[in-house]
Structure 1
């Protein structure tokens, strides 16, 4: 593990971020999460049986605990629908497989900003003082199909490690994202990074693998409206994909055929979901992880 503070003013080599990063500082912790049998890309630790038995990971917020706004409308499971996984931008996403505290879990993640960068939720990478291991990204996962990518570096903001033990809240969610580097470049493309990319009353599409719908075997999508933006966090609703497994799934907006990831699923309940608003720190952390956390 490495905890450090770096000043970055550089160009990313990937076309996703072509302008220089402004001088700034970001505190983070970074580690190698390979775990058991890293070399076994086609199987290794994550056999079909392990994937089937892994627990959909998530943070469900009960009303009154996290400060979610009052329910805005009735919800049904059909408010979320299967995403067309072979189409952009859904094909940029997939299922995240990882071990945390000795337990195997699944969550959601996607390629963002660079062909070798995957983003998910920080609570799917670091929790209760534990770093996740055995991390793999199963791009395009659908009922067992997809492409398995190995992860060789993962980082979360140091602020996340300081608040990760707190109950889910909007304030906590602003630090709830992880940045991971794959050993091979994406073969399907990526989301662009949307810094402060959505605002109150904007509609966003939210993706993920909710365990309560089809057992988490397929990516789902929902449309939510941003109800609150406070600091560097959002609250949007409704959230029919609640209940675990969708953690880390992208919130995205599309304009001029460009798909920008503006947040990831942090925690939620049927009527609302929290997520971070990406900032320059996010872009800086992506650059750091792409370069191996030197």
Structure 2
């Protein structure tokens, strides 16, 4: 594991994306989630029994703000989540994330974004209490035990996240709450495009994930929420019927001209709302770095 500050010249050589990279630097922590374990040993770790016993990961917002945001028409949005059509785009780009952190096994949500070898989830899933996750697996298209298994050989979070990871959930903290992982095999089903600053106040977004309180987290669900606050590079959207753990890291997306753009992931939530980061150029830069093996 190491912390690196990348300069513009290094980013130029690392770039493997269509998104232009801006001058500057991004600080990050990157590691190999399986260490020196063999592929077979790592694959054997996730037995059916271990998966069934894994803890649905999630973070709860203690008190949602009640002022300072748009009093729009979010009350007309559906108050219930529904199962997502997992075989259709863009839902098939997502799946269930499995990992070990601090000696405990967890489940959360994630998806292919920006590149067919890049998966994005929540940072709080992969790094907390100065502990990095290991045994990371992504079951694309997971549905009631079925799905396609992808292994990870690199994982990274922003260095700024490691400095606030143990703070209480907040909009300020959520700005940095995303992780980037590299798969050893390319996605067979496609990917979301990356939406940089891709949504704004009063926009509706579709939010996806595997909430444990709905069917035990065995199926992907979706909900429609309206962004009521954009503070810095974080969103507050409402309502959030997928609260309660397991949906962490699930994509927020918008669709235009049949192009599906991931604009955020689930950071922390409550019954009435959910926080998530607004993707920035730092996100694109970190994706390029991880795709290139964290040089």
Verify same fold: TM over 0.5. Answer: yes
Other structure's SS at 1:166 match: coil
Q: Which residue of 1 aligns with 2:179?
A: 178
Aligned residues, how many? 289
Question: Matched residues in 2 for 1:261 and 1:162: separation?
Answer: 25
Give the RMSD, CA atoms, in angstroms: 2.1
Other structure's SS at 1:109 match: strand
Which string of whole-angstrom CA distances, capped at 9 and with x for unpartnered residues, describes residues 62-101 of structure 1? 225xx4669975999x710000000000000000000010
What TM-score, normalized by structure 1, do the two folds share?
A: 0.93
Question: Matched residues in 1 for 2:96 and 2:209: separation?
Answer: 8
Which string of whole-angstrom CA distances, capped at 9 and with x for unpartnered residues, describes residues 199-227 of structure 1? 00000000000000000000000000000
Q: After the TM superposition, which of the residue ranges 1-10 and 21-30 deviates more from structure 2? A: 1-10
What is the 5 A alignment of 1:1-294? 1-8=1-8, 9-10=11-12, 17-34=17-34, 38-40=38-40, 43-63=43-63, 67=65, 73=75, 79-294=80-295
Matched-pair contact (CA < 8 Å) for 1:12–1:20? no
Decide whether aligned partners of structure 1 residues 11 and 238 sit closer, same or farther in structure 2, where only a CA change above 3 A counts.
farther
Matched-pair contact (CA < 8 Å) for 1:159–1:175? yes
Question: Matched residues in 1 for 2:198 and 2:134: separation?
Answer: 31
Question: Matched residues in 1 for 2:66 and 2:48: separation?
Answer: 37
Decide whether aligned partners of structure 1 residues 13 and 251 sit closer, same or farther in structure 2, where only a CA change above 3 A counts.
same
Decide whether aligned partners of structure 1 residues 12 and 129 sit closer, same or farther in structure 2, where only a CA change above 3 A counts.
closer
Decide whether aligned partners of structure 1 residues 185 and 228 sit closer, same or farther in structure 2, where only a CA change above 3 A counts.
same
Matched-pair contact (CA < 8 Å) for 2:14–2:292? no
Question: Matched residues in 2 for 1:13 and 1:3: separation?
Answer: 19
More helix by share: 2
Question: Matched residues in 1 for 2:142 and 2:38: separation?
Answer: 20
Matched-pair contact (CA < 8 Å) for 2:95–2:141? yes
What TM-score, normalized by structure 2, do the two folds share?
A: 0.93
Other structure's SS at 1:24 match: coil
